[in-house]
Amino acid sequence: MRDSFLQINRVVGPEAQVRQVYANLAAALEAAGSGLEHVVKLTVYLTDLDDG
């Protein structure tokens, strides 16, 4: 995902962004022979408190 855009080429809300982040992370981990079950900590920073 690039700049909060999905394949639909429009800005999406925070929930859709988080879902895409997890999908991207899972794909990267799988490509490295790992998975989300091996993630110990994930920190999320919001730049706009109204997004959370």
* Per-residue pLDDT, 41: 92
Model confidence pLDDT, tens digit, residues 1-52? 444 555 667 777 888 888 988 999 999 999 999 999 999 998 888 787 675 5
* Per-residue pLDDT, 8: 67
* Per-residue pLDDT, 10: 74
Find the DSSP H helices in 1-52: 14-31
Q: How far is CA 1 from CA 14, 20, 34, 40, in A?
A: 13, 7, 21, 23
Q: Output the CA torsion sign for 16, 12, 28, 25.
A: negative
Could you tell me which residues come within 8 angstroms of residue 6 by beta carbon, excluding any fewer than 6 positions away?
Answer: 12, 16, 20
pTM for the model: 0.66
